[in-house]
Amino acid sequence: MQTANAAIIPFPSLAERLPVPPPARLDPLLDATVVCVARYGLSKTSVSDIAREMGVAPSTVYRNVRSVDNAVLLAIARDGRRLIDRIPEVVAGIDGPRVITVFLAESIRQCRAHPMVDKILRDEADWVGKLVTRKLDGILESGAEMAAPLLAAAMEVGVIRRQDPSALAHWTARLGFTCVLSPPPGDLNEALDALLLPALQPN
């Protein structure tokens, strides 16, 4: 059977189907959040720290994001969307359903290498526990909302098997989140191929 190439996925129109990222006007605030959390840790970062890094009054930060936790989640959402915008570059030359596993592996690596996420995973076990027990459903839902349009587009052009894109997106988001917290031993790409390709291979 001939393998469909990633180049036939309509990436420009796909971007229109994704959730709207945080507005660009928040970039200085989110950049400052990343710097402060990477420097001090999440539990020791305050709204005043972010404001000082930006050179503005704390009230400006409160008015825009209300809390450090919200600023962190917005920064993750923004940087996740930036990674999605790089899909054509990441999967260039990849054929068939490995488009999905290659991009997922790169997403996991980039997330773990993100200075803010790296600091939180290393030093903020309490916050990670709170995230998993209180906010995991929302995180996974956001991840699935981003993944579903990509998976649906890949199905439409025959890159992966036709199935419910929402259900597949939820499972993919769960797998990705687990690997961010604790990557599998050995080669990440090989592990994701073994887990996902049987479900993605076109009939």
Q: How would you write the pLDDT of the chain (203 residues) with one tens digit per residue?
A: 445 555 545 555 556 666 678 999 999 999 999 999 999 998 899 999 999 999 999 999 999 999 998 999 899 889 988 888 888 888 888 888 999 999 999 999 999 999 999 998 899 888 788 877 887 888 888 889 888 988 998 898 888 999 999 999 999 999 999 999 999 999 999 999 999 999 999 88
- In the numeric block, the tokens 């915008």 are attached to 85
Residue 53 lies in a domain: no
Residue 100 lies in a domain: yes
Model-level pTM greater than 0.75? yes
Using CA atoms of 49, 73, 62, 29 in order, give the dihedral in degrees to the nearest 10: 60
Domain count, the chain: 1
**What is the span of the domain harbouring residue 156?**
74-200
Q: How far apart are CA 114 and CA 48, in angstroms?
A: 23
pLDDT for the residue numbered 124: 85
- CA nearest to 162, candidates 170, 151, 172, 171: 151
Q: How far apart are CA 87 and CA 154, in angstroms?
A: 12
pLDDT for the residue numbered 18: 63
Residue 190 lies in a domain: yes
Exposed/middle/buried for 65, CB within 10 Å: 0-12, 13-18, 19+?
buried
Q: Is the CB of residue 129 less than 8 Å from the CB of residue 88?
A: no
* DSSP β-bridge partners for residue 5: 95
Q: How far apart are CA 145 and CA 166, in angstroms?
A: 8
Residue 51 lies in a domain: no
Residue 177 lies in a domain: yes
Q: Two tokens at 198?
A: 């049987």
pLDDT for the residue numbered 1: 43
Residue 135 lies in a domain: yes
CATH number where 165 lies: 1.10.357
- CA nearest to 82, candidates 106, 66, 59: 106
